[in-house]
Amino acid sequence: MTSNRFALSSAVICVLLLSACSSSSLDVSAQGQVNYACALAESASEMLEEDPDWVPDPAPGSDPMLDLLASSAALLGAFTAGGQDVSQELQDAARDTVSGVFQVDSTVLADSLEVIVQECDADSGIEPSGDVSDKGRISYACALIADVKENDGPVDEQWQMKIGPDTPEAQVKAISAGILVGGATGGAQEASSEMADAGGRLYQAISRVDAKMLQEGIDDLNSACDAH
154 phi and psi angles, rounded to 5 deg: -70, 150
pLDDT of 126 above 90: yes
pLDDT of 7 above 60: no
Among 162, 152, 141, which Cα is nearest to 79's?
A: 162
- Torsion sign across C-alpha atoms 108, 50, 71, 88: negative
pLDDT one-digit tens code per residue, 60-91: 888 999 999 999 999 999 999 888 999 999 99
**String of b and e for 112-147 (b: at least 16 CB within 10 Å)?**
bbebbbbbbbeeeebbbbbbbeeebbbbbbbbbbbb
What is the percentage of the chain residues whose pLDDT exceeds 70?
Answer: 89
Domain range list for the chain? 10-17+28-122, 137-227
Reported pTM: 0.88
pLDDT one-digit tens code per residue, 175-204: 999 999 999 998 887 899 999 999 999 999
Look at residue 190 in the predicted model and tell me its pLDDT: 85
- Average the pLDDT over 111-126 and give the result: 96
159 phi and psi angles, rounded to 5 deg: -155, 160
- Average the pLDDT over 21-36 and give the result: 83
pLDDT of 222 above 80: yes
Among 69, 65, 35, which Cα is nearest to 50's?
A: 65
Strands (E), the chain: none
pLDDT of 219 above 50: yes
pLDDT of 21 above 80: no
pLDDT of 19 above 80: no
**Virtual torsion, Cα 175, 180, 186, 191, nearest 10 deg:** -130
- Torsion sign across C-alpha atoms 188, 194, 195, 200: positive
Look at residue 24 in the predicted model and tell me its pLDDT: 54
| Position 173, amino acid | K
